[in-house]
Amino acid sequence: MTTAVVLIDLQQAIFRGRGGGRQAEADAALEAAGARAAELLAAARRAGLPVIHVQHDGPAGHRLAKGSPGWALRDQTAPAGGEVVIHKTASDSFLGTALEATLRRVGAGRIVIAGCMSDFCIDTTCRSAVAHGFDVVLVADGHATVDNGVLRLDQIIAHHNATLDGFDAGNHAVSVRPAAAVIAGF
């Protein structure tokens, strides 16, 4: 079974203006998750694994408006030659995109997921992936989000790590592992 790495919404302005009174903490969380994702990306490339980048295309005026500076993928995890970029407009990276077809084309039965935002695109894509027949490894320290007015970002990340670990649909499930353990398994 081939493992593919899927990096979701690691874009320049993913958290811009979303941090409320804790923008510095949100930016630090993004930097930390981005660093883990960069390590994961480098290891996947060394191992010759397929890498797929998912980029959110926001509408005009949105912080991730397609073609805007904020829409661009972050330098530390930018695609290299031959790596696929999937464009999406919803939290589910499978909805209305070529993600499933791309994963099937490369023979992936398992996908490793890292990126942003934990409580939207990460959660939704993990759940959708198992429903589409893939096993998922969520990188516990490789995803981030912002405070939501009820929970702090660290609580949201911890909640999703706990909730998604073991989530299944039929014969496929999500497991949550730290980046170091995922990389050691490549």
**Is position 121 annotated as part of the catalytic site?**
yes
Q: 113, 121, 136, 164: which is the annotated catalytic residue? A: 121
Look at residues 19, 6, 98, 122 and name the one whose alpha carbon lies nearest to residue 63.
Answer: 19
Q: Are 130 and 166 in contact (CB under 8 A)?
A: no
Rg (CA), the chain: 15
| Whether 169 contacts 131, CB under 8 Å | yes
For residue 124, CA distances in Å to 48, 91, 119, 134 come to 27, 6, 8, 14
Catalytic residues: 121
